[in-house]
Amino acid sequence: LDATKTLKCYILAYKKALLIACCVLVVLILSIAIGVSVTYSCTGKFRCGTSSQCVRKTARCDGVTDCDQGEDEFRCVRLSGRNSVLQIYTGGSWKTVCSEDWNETYGNTACRQLGYSRYGNSSSLPVSEIEYQFQKDLISISLSQPAGHIFKIHNVTHISRTHCTSGKVTSLKCLECGSRPRYSPRIVGGNESKVGQFPWQVSLHFEREHLCGGSIITSRWILTAAHCVYGFAFPSSWTVHVGITDQPVAGGMAYTVKKIMHHKKYRPKALHYDIALMKLTTSIINDGNVEPICLPNYGEEFADGKMCWISGWGAMYDGGEGTVAMNYAQIPLLSNKVCNQPDVYQGFITPTMICAGYLEGGIDSCQGDSGGPLACEDSNVWKLAGATSWGLGCAEKNKPGVYTRITECLDWIHEQMEREEALF
């Protein structure tokens, strides 16, 4: 009997100890989870890339490197709104630059910080003509050092203002882009592209075979989809063909690739941030049939229902072979709300994606078009709204094409270009 009681007591004590241990373990797990959540939330602070490191917002773009990889001293200038107004990040927020005391040296510096190799032009614009959200915080540049010694535009002394003395702000253009100087719109008939119709379209060849499309965004940079290069980021295996309309390649020019990079947040199964950049070994020669397409500005969105264009050498049906001639189609942009409906993509569309096409099907991008442009025209200027990413089947009902939303990736694009430009 005593032995039985002892055994029962032992079992009871063991159960209590096990229960306590489980409780302690749960508390530890929750503590770690909360700690990680707090660490990764960076609430009210600036996150250093994809790491858990955070710095004060006021420490960003202050001329002192705080992040391990220096992310806090990149992306300190941007072009915003439909008028490309220049903004500088300083004092913990974005501020629009007034036009007083502005000069071309500042323009050249700002363009290099955006990753462009040269300066285009700048102009003054009345504050009343820009979007309201860019009118709130204004700043003037105060010349505090010899113009030739300016390396970072945000490191020059600034004067915060509630209004511009001149009543005007700075509009900046770093690149001639988005035009089709050799294409005549009077050419009609069929959906096969003519030379110069989409001068920013490129054919990306992997081991001498067309694999994906892409877009020229500067003379040294090609934008494409991450899933095209993921696992195949060997620059020597790729060739970029420009100024062509037919496969196999006939005419045009071919360029070798120096460097390939894809977004750090890209995940093959999820297809978030499905975007990549190729840096060319030499600069593309623009001749009217070969021209860059403009990147959109910050705060510039494309309206739902807007008619835009897709192009490429993709298959004409799901599982088919790629085409000989480059084809194109005009399709409407769809809201993410429509695209996330239960009978469409059931909530899989994220803010980094944009849908375009017809819910009834019939016209769509397909295999081989990946990475190619979703191009939209506004006032005779063509801008890159998306890069062909994915879809279920090709041209099927309730399954429109899904594209990487370029406006959600501008920070990443300009940071990569700026980092490379800083190497020169």
Instruction: Answer yes or no: 227 catalytic.
Output: yes
Point out which residues pair with 374 in neighbouring strands. 310, 386
- Short-list 86, 139, 140, 126, CA closest to 109: 86
Farthest CA pair distance, the chain? 105
Q: What is the residue-wise DSSP string for 81-100?
A: TTTTEEEEEETTEEEEEBST
Q: Pick the catalytic residue: 154, 227, 241, 263?
A: 227
What single-letter amino acid sits at 136? K
Catalytically annotated residue among 62, 72, 274, 369: 274
Query: Which member of 72, 370, 389, 414 is catalytic?
Result: 370
Task: Give the distance, in angstroms, between the CA of residue 365 and the centroid of all CA atoms in the same chain.
Answer: 20
Say whether 41 is catalytic: no
Residue 351, preceding peptide bond in cis (omega within 30° of 0): no
What span, in angstroms and rounded, lies between the C-alpha atoms of 370 and 365?
8
Strands 158-161 and 54-56: what pairing? unpaired
Active site residue 370: yes
Q: Kindly report the backbone phi and psi dihedral angles of residue 300, in degrees, each rounded to the nearest multiple of 5, phi listed first.
A: -100, 115
Closest CA to 171 of 136, 122, 132: 122
- DSSP annotation of 321: P
Enumerate residues 6+ apart whose C-beta is below 8 A from 197. Answer: 180, 183, 187, 311, 328
For residue 14, which phi and psi values (nearest 5 degrees)? -65, -45
Please list the active-site residues.
227, 274, 370
